[in-house]
Chain A
C-alpha cells in the first residue's frame, strides 16, 4: 500500500469536487431561495431572508401550497409499496436470467421497451385498456402497476450488473457443503448482492416518487407530489416549492446517514462474529 498519494489522486479529487459543485448547482439555488424573504420570488436577487415559506408550508394554508401535504403522504405511501414490490419482483426476475430459458429474450426486451416508450404513452395505454375492460383506475392496482413498469426495468439492469459481479465459486462451495438452493440463496447469494438489492429498493422508491406521466391517468382521484407540483405551476409558484425541496433533501440526507450507520454497525458485528471463531 502506498503511503504517499500520487498526483493523480489530487487531480481527481479536485475533479470530483468540481463535479459535486456542478451536480448541486441547481440544488444550491433551491436551498438559498427557500429562505427568500416574503416579498421575493422564484429567482435572485434575494429580497430579505426569512423562514416565512417554511411556515407557509407547515400551516398548509396560503399561496403556492395547494394540497401538498396529502399528496406528499400519498407519494411516500406509493413509493414504499412500489419499492418493496420492485425489490421482490425485480430480484426474482434478475435471478431467473442466470440461465437461458425460452422467453427470456421476450422478458428482457419488453423491459427495455418499457423504459423507452414515453411514460405518457404507457400511462395512456394502460388507462385505455382499463376503460375497455370497464375498470376504474385506482391507486392500489393501476397506479402501482403503472409505476412498476418504470421501476422494474431499472431493477432488472441493476440485477444484471450485480449478478455479473458474483463469483460462482462461493455458490459452488455452498453446494459442495450440502446446501439446498434456498439455503444457498439465503446464506451466500443474498448477503453478497445485498448492496445491489438496497440499490434496487432506493431506485424503486425514487422512481416512484418522481414519476407522474404513467401514474397520472391511473392513480384515481388524489394527486401524487409531482402531479400536485405540476398543477401548482399553473399559477404563481412561490418559494414554498423550494422549501419543499430543502426539507426533502434534509429528510433524505438523514435517512442516508441513518442507513449508513446501521449497515456500518451490522458489518462491524459481522466482522466480530467471524473473527471470534
Chain B
C-alpha cells in the first residue's frame, strides 16, 4: 500500500473546480457505480482507515484501491490502541471501525462526524436491527447492554447525544454483527448443555474460561449467574454498584475454588484453549468455534435458553472531515458506501460474520455459500473460506441455523457500563484474588 501523503491542499483550487464539475455530473444521474467521475480529481487523496483484523486487510484494500479513484491506506490495530488513537489523535484518522464495547466513549466528545442518512446508499437494505431497533418480525430485541438502537442515531447534527429513536444522523454505518454463545467440546462433555448456567456447574470445574474484559466477560458471567438463580439483575449490561459487588464476590469465590482455567484476552487464546482441551466450555466468538473445527476438532456452538450475546461493528468517520476539504469528505463517504457495496461484505461473510445488508451481497455470493452462511441450509458442496481453506463438507449445516435463528434470540449485547469506573476497580480486585 502506498504511503502518499495527501497533496490536496496545494491543489485546492483545481480540485474545487473539478469537484464542482463532479457535483454537476452527479446531479444529472450520470453516476451509477464505482469508480465515479471523481477518479481524476480525487486521485491524490489518501484516506486513512483504522480497524481490527477483520475489517482491515490487504485483500479488501487492494480491491478498494482498484475500484476507487483515490488511495485507501489501512492500518490494523488492537482495539485499545485503536480507541486511544481516536480519542487522542482523531485528526490522523479518516475512517474507523469499532463495536458496542466502545460506543460509550464517543458521547459528548465531538470526535465523530454525524453521517446523514441520505448519504448512505444502502440504508433501506439494512437489517432492521439497526434501522428500527427490532427483529424483522417487528418484535423489539433485548435492551440489555449496548443494543444497536442505543447508539445508532445522534439526537441532532451536533453529534453529542445518542437518540433511542431513528433520526437523520447516523453515528456510524453498520458493517457486521453476530451473536456469540458458549462453545463446547461435545467429545469431552458427555451431556447436552442448554443453558448459560452450566458455565458454573461443578461438572466443569477447572475447565471453563471467560473473556477477560469487563465488556464481555462480566456480562457473560452475569447471564450465567442469573440463569443459575444465584443473582438477579435489572440490566445485566448496565449493572448497579450493588449488583457489581455481589457478582464480583461470587466470582472471587469461584476463582479461589479453581473453577476457571483461564481468562482469554485475544481470539487466538480462546481457540487454543478449546482446541487443546484445556477448556471444555467457554464463552467465545463465533469464528473461533469455526477455527477450532477447521483443525479437525469437534466444537459446537450452542443455542441456549437465555439467548445469545450480540455484538456489531460500526464504521464511522471523524468529525474533522466536516470542516475540512469537501473532496476528502466526499471520498470518505464514497469509501464507506463502497464497504457495504458487496466485495467487503462477501469477504467477511465467508468467514462467518453477518453483513448489515444481506440483500446487497446475496447476488454476489454463490447459492451454496449464501445458503450455508445466511439461510441455515445444508451445504451443497464444500464451504471454502476466502483463503482456500475448506471449512465444512457438503451436507453440513451452520451451527444455530439461519441468520435469524441465531440473531433472533439475543439475550444481551456487548456493553460498556455506566458504572464502568467502579466495575474496573472491582475487576482488579477479582484478578488479584
Stretch at the interface among A13-21, A169-177, A229-237: A229-237
Contact of A233 among B54, B84, B268 (CB under 8 A): B268
CB distance A39 to B387 under 8 Å?
no
The docked-state distance in angstroms from the alpha carbon of A70 to that of B76 is 12
A181 to chain B, nearest CB (A): 44
- CB contact under 8 A between A60 and B58, given known A42-B272, A43-B276, A236-B288: yes
Contact with B along A5-42 (1 / 0, CB 8 A): 00000000000000000000000000000000011111
Contact of B267 among A137, A221, A233 (CB under 8 A): A233
Stretch at the interface among B87-95, B115-123, B399-407: B87-95
CB distance A127 to B58 under 8 Å?
no
Q: Tell me the residues in window 282-296 of chain B with beta carbons closer than 8 Å to chain A beta carbons.
A: 287-288, 291, 294-296
Contact of B53 among A61, A128, A235 (CB under 8 A): A235
Please tell me if A62 contacts chain B, counting CB pairs below 8 Å. yes
Identity of the chain A residue whose Cβ is nearest the Cβ of B385 in the assembled complex = A63
Please tell me if A216 contacts chain B, counting CB pairs below 8 Å. yes
The docked-state distance in angstroms from the alpha carbon of A29 to that of B242 is 47
Please tell me if B3 contacts chain A, counting CB pairs below 8 Å. yes
CB distance B1 to A39 under 8 Å?
no
- Interface class of chain A by DSSP: loop
A135 to chain B, nearest CB (A): 10
The docked-state distance in angstroms from the alpha carbon of A171 to that of B295 is 65
In the complex, what residues of A have CB within 8 A of residue B79's CB? 234
Please tell me if B160 contacts chain A, counting CB pairs below 8 Å. no
The docked-state distance in angstroms from the alpha carbon of A124 to that of B80 is 12
The docked-state distance in angstroms from the alpha carbon of A210 to that of B294 is 31
Interface hub of B48, B58, B73, B267 (most chain A Cβ within 10 A): B58
CB distance A40 to B295 under 8 Å?
yes
The docked-state distance in angstroms from the alpha carbon of A227 to that of B56 is 14
In the complex, what residues of B have CB within 8 A of residue A128's CB? 88
Please tell me if A47 contacts chain B, counting CB pairs below 8 Å. yes
Contact with B along A116-139 (1 / 0, CB 8 A): 000000001001100100001100
CB distance B266 to A234 under 8 Å?
yes
The docked-state distance in angstroms from the alpha carbon of A39 to that of B294 is 7
Please tell me if B167 contacts chain A, counting CB pairs below 8 Å. no
CB distance B53 to A131 under 8 Å?
no
Please tell me if B419 contacts chain A, counting CB pairs below 8 Å. no
Contact of A136 among B57, B89, B385 (CB under 8 A): B89
B394 to chain A, nearest CB (A): 18
CB distance B88 to A67 under 8 Å?
no
CB distance A39 to B275 under 8 Å?
no
Contact with A along B286-309 (1 / 0, CB 8 A): 011001001110000000000000
Interface hub of A38, A128, A234 (most chain B Cβ within 10 A): A234
The docked-state distance in angstroms from the alpha carbon of A47 to that of B75 is 33
- CB contact under 8 A between A232 and B76, given known A42-B271, A61-B59, A127-B88: yes
The docked-state distance in angstroms from the alpha carbon of A38 to that of B59 is 21
In the complex, what residues of B have CB within 8 A of residue A136's CB? 89, 91-92
Q: Tell me the residues in window 347-393 of chain B with beta carbons closer than 8 Å to chain A beta carbons.
A: 385, 387-389
Please tell me if A228 contacts chain B, counting CB pairs below 8 Å. yes
Please tell me if A223 contacts chain B, counting CB pairs below 8 Å. yes
Please tell me if B77 contacts chain A, counting CB pairs below 8 Å. yes
- What's the tally of chain A residues with a CB closer than 8 Å to chain B? 37
Identity of the chain B residue whose Cβ is nearest the Cβ of A241 in the assembled complex = B268
In the complex, what residues of A have CB within 8 A of residue B85's CB? 217
B261 to chain A, nearest CB (A): 15
CB distance A61 to B275 under 8 Å?
no
CB distance B81 to A66 under 8 Å?
no
Identity of the chain B residue whose Cβ is nearest the Cβ of A124 in the assembled complex = B84
- CB contact under 8 A between A233 and B271, given known A217-B85, A217-B88, A221-B73: no
CB distance B92 to A220 under 8 Å?
yes
Q: Tell me the residues in window 233-292 of chain B with beta carbons closer than 8 Å to chain A beta carbons.
A: 266-268, 271-272, 275-276, 287-288, 291
In the complex, what residues of B have CB within 8 A of residue A127's CB? 88-89
CB distance A221 to B88 under 8 Å?
no
Please tell me if B36 contacts chain A, counting CB pairs below 8 Å. no
In the complex, what residues of B have CB within 8 A of residue A231's CB? 52-53, 76-78
In the complex, what residues of B have CB within 8 A of residue A39's CB? 294-296
Please tell me if A222 contacts chain B, counting CB pairs below 8 Å. yes
CB distance B48 to A221 under 8 Å?
yes
In the complex, what residues of B have CB within 8 A of residue A47's CB? 295-296
CB distance A137 to B89 under 8 Å?
yes
In the complex, what residues of B have CB within 8 A of residue A41's CB? 271-272, 275, 291, 295
Interface hub of B73, B81, B85, B295 (most chain A Cβ within 10 A): B81
CB distance B268 to A42 under 8 Å?
yes
15 cross-chain CB contacts under 8 A:
A39-B294, A61-B58, A62-B388, A63-B389, A66-B53, A67-B58, A137-B89, A216-B81, A217-B81, A221-B48, A221-B92, A222-B75, A230-B78, A236-B291, A237-B267
Q: A63-B387, A235-B268 are in contact. List 20 more A-B contacts (CB 8 A).
A: A41-B272, A41-B275, A42-B271, A43-B272, A62-B387, A62-B388, A124-B84, A136-B91, A216-B81, A217-B81, A217-B84, A217-B88, A221-B73, A227-B81, A231-B78, A234-B54, A234-B266, A234-B267, A236-B271, A236-B287
Which residues of B line the A interface, CB within 8 A? 1, 3, 48, 52-54, 57-59, 73-79, 81, 84-85, 88-89, 91-92, 266-268, 271-272, 275-276, 287-288, 291, 294-296, 385, 387-389
